[in-house]
Structure 1
Amino acid sequence: MRPTLPQFRGRLHDPRTAVAIGRRLGAAIVVCFLTGLISHVLRHPPGWMTGLLPTRPVWGYRLTQGLHVASGLAAIVLVMAKLWTVYPRLFAWPPFRSLPHLVERLTIALLVAATVFELFTGLINILQWYPWPFSFTQTHYAVAWIVAGSLLLHLAVKAPLIRTDRRPRRADVDAADRRALLTGVGVAVGAVTLTTVGQAFTPLRAFTLLAPRNPGIAPQGVPINRTAAAAQVTYASADGWALEVAGPKPYRITLAELNALPQQRVRLPIACVEGWSVNAWWSGVPIRDLLARAGIAPGRPLRVTSMEVWGYYKVMEMPAQYADDPQTLLALKLNDEVLSLDHGYPARIIAPNRPGVLQTKWVSRLEAL
């Protein structure tokens, strides 16, 4: 016996509306996927790609990661609109009509589940809340490929419907209502983008009403993700600090001695995976000068060790092109002020076109690999 199911009379729960929203959602997902892939490669490059990572433009990661978060937030609005147009089909009876139809529905279920999981865990990540037991970075990367694969499969299955939708029709009684719906969805996407993208796009910073960070409101003009307290670093633990540089001619150098060396001042952005970024003035000693003093020739990758007691990025490896770059500094000052403890006192790394998590704070050791 057929069960009693809800009756849906809204005319916009139709394939044409679903395709129209789907095109916009697909574009957002493609941008989000490609920029996320760039982020992952910069943070965890395959061995063969390590020497190919670019140091220019210095704002490259700031742009791609800002686009990644902005397109992800836009996709959340679009996926809700898309699900609204198609959810009556969840109540279709019978649930499947044939084996191919069953496979099609299962692939759609996979696409929806993976997309919703990817977008909403990404949203929670930019809020820096991690209520799950798994590694966000590895899981987010793996599920992104599931989304990409299931989206391609879905497009292949629905290609005939998409082609049909592009054909002109003599009469479309729902055209005005459909345009109104798409306009409303577009306004919602625009509102979310306008009120969040300012955390990366400086001219819109005044509108960051919904962004988790306003980079203009922060100690020394730069937000802080990981505090000294979280890293278990204190001013007391930094007393008597000296930087150890390992090489053919290893040496130790105190903070006073570092300050006595020729200083370089550069303006570089710092950009975090959560989507915020800000330009700042950094002053310190070029890393390549410190390595040369230890007898290390150019072209060597670098291992940087932090004073922090525990953390995923306590030890960071830097490809040779970054270590040799004249703008890569062991920074001692931020915006012409001595680094605060939360910003990495007594010394931290700043390098062009690198994710913020790789701009190691509380540096204690440099070692050529």
Structure 2
Amino acid sequence: MATSKTQPTDDDHRSTTAQSKDSEAEVVLRTEGLTKRYGDTLAVDDTSVAVENGELLCFLGPSGCGKSTLLRSIAGLETPTAGEIYINGKNVTEDPPYDRDCAMVFQEWALFPQKTVLENITFGLKVNDFDKSERVEKAEELLEMIELFDHRDKYPAELSGGQQQRVALARSLIVNPGILLLDEPLSSLDKRLREQMQIELKRIQEEFDQTMIHVTHDQEEAFTIADRIAVVNDGSIVQIGTPDTVYKDPNTRFVEEFLGETNVLSGSVTDPEANRVQIESLAESVALPGDPDLETKETVSVSLRPDRLRLQLEGGPNLGGNETVGTVTDVIYQGGKIRYYVRIDEETEVFLSRPEKHALDVEAGQQVTLRWDPEEALYFGPTGNRIKDEQ
């Protein structure tokens, strides 16, 4: 058969380049400059991310930050204003959802109430013309794996919330999607069941070696299940890395405060050449890490997580590090631990917790000393970016 010789288009070149990049790193999904606007509202802002085969990536951020819009754009349920989406090296930006090798689990599981568990799970195979015996065989294998085989003839209303969630997962997994997209699927469960399902979800993901992208606003959920966390704010991924990395080494003050409770103290630069800053309530100035190139009187924020603070009774031994004196305002029992609130000046109150067995005999109104190691404090500049030693 004769073929006509044509010059490759820009799209052909981008697709070939993408396949080359993705095959080298086993990347199954990649977005480049993805942007989504609703009129004047910028929901997703020039976002690029790559997801590797078999990993579970969490989009984590506050409500309204754009994480669900980003997920829906990847699924093909939203049309990007700009940017490109590649799945397995193929540009799928203009492809409909059913041509993207993705399945999606929504916040509302949308099980068919009139169908049994078995019928719900086999629905996708029935639509794709699998014969009945093959549908049932595949579904029963899945039911064994998710420990619901004995419930296969029940209806959704007869199941617990966690069981319904597992049915929704199985219905998506049975079609063998390249990527499973989950939009806050555990948010409607109570706390205890949600924690159980987090562990179950991670077990299923590892057992199937399934690539997953999971959207959540729950920090503990992301830390429990994710291989990597992409922190989203104002439509952009502001940091991406392992749970340990994003928690211990945040790029910005937003990431530091969003990922866990912390105390933030204010200070101002007193000696820019020596990189020294005066923190409110400290008698002596402290040295900043790195070479931040700040000017005199510019504002610096200091973050001290409650587990990095040490509380001492007045007159206790000097254990080194930075210190300040304050007055206890509240002592709260939290079942297994005690939380102390300490006011260190008229405008600043900090808190820390100790295990109950290490509780101090202090009460409101008592003066105490707070200490911390200088290297455990994190510093952020006027724009919120981290100040640190880059070596």
Is the structural similarity TM-score above 0.5? no
> Comparing both chains, which one has the higher relative contact order based on Cα–Cα distances under 8 Å and sequence gaps of 6 or more?
1
Instruction: Please report the TM-score for the alignment, with normalisation by the length of structure 1.
Output: 0.28
Higher strand share: 2
